[in-house]
Amino acid sequence: MAIFLLDKPLFLHILTQLRNKDTDQIMFRKGMVRLGRLIGYEISNNLDLDIIQVTTPLGANVKGVMIKDLENIMIINVLRAATPLVEGLLKAFPAAKQGVIAASRRESESTSPPKEMEVDITYLKIPKISKEDIVIIADPMIATASTMLKVLNRVTELSPKRIIIASIISSEYGINRIMKKFSFIDIFTVSIDPEINNSGYIIPGLGDAGDRSFG
């Protein structure tokens, strides 16, 4: 597993706008879409390439680069907070197949922070996954990772070629939990934040990504 920490200035600039409690709903949503597009481009920098030759309208032959697996990308939207992130990812991968997954969380009896969440998958609709597919699971906030672990259980059963997580803020705790169980997965994230509070929010975080995007 590799963790790709996307901490270049433009990522951090948009992240800072998202973290700011005074950023309104429209600007927040726009920021999520922009980060989705940028994360998509970073993922594309990490895909296999084919070197091919093409002929230009001037009859000149020239070597070119094609990204190998663009027809085999599938993006899974972890509803609802990932929706604007997926809108951005689709700008980088316009031919991607799309799936959606909805999960509801309930607090477990555990009292020690971070509180574990019991997660039930309530809706799952994903196209057929083949062994050639690269599956990008989009979830802007990975806190305890309980939802992500459930999603990964489902997706790994279908044995795609590669699984990538696209996230904006991940907690250290969540990343460690994913790493322990799914060591072969790549995580692209803009920030790794240190804490989760007793209500399951990442600290410093950016609040509830779904509420802030959707109002």
Task: Decide: is 138 part of the binding site for ligand URA (CB under 6 A).
Answer: no
Residues tagged in the binding site annotation for 5-phospho-alpha-D-ribose 1-diphosphate: 80, 105, 139-147, 208
Q: Write b or e for each residue in 143-173: b if 16 or more Cβ atoms lie within 10 A of its Cβ, otherwise e.
A: bbbbbbbbbbeebeeeebebbbbbbbbbbeb
- Residue 212's SS3 state is helix
Measured from the Cβ of residue 34, the count of other Cβ atoms closer than 10 Å reads 21
CA distance 102 to 130: 22
Tokens of 59: 């009859």
Task: Give binding residues for GTP as ranges.
Answer: 30-34
Contact stretch for ligand URA (CB under 6 A) within 87-95, 128-136, 156-164, 206-214: 206-214
The correct pick among 81, 116, 117, 152 for binding ligand URA (CB under 6 A) is 81
Size of the site for ligand URA (CB under 6 A): 10
* Amino acid letter for position 31: G
Instruction: Scan residues 141-160 and list those touching ligand URA (CB under 6 A).
Output: 141, 143
Which of 37, 42, 98, 201 forms a contact with ligand URA (CB under 6 A)?
Answer: 201
Using DSSP's 3-state secondary structure scheme, residue 93 falls into coil
Instruction: At 168, list the tokens.
Output: 């904006």
- Residue closer to ligand URA (CB basis): 41 or 201: 201
CA 84/CA 88 separation, integer angstroms: 6
Residues 35-74 that bind ligand URA (CB under 6 A): none
202 binds ligand URA (CB under 6 A): yes
Q: For binding to ligand URA (CB under 6 A), which residues are involved?
A: 81, 141, 143, 200-202, 205, 208-210
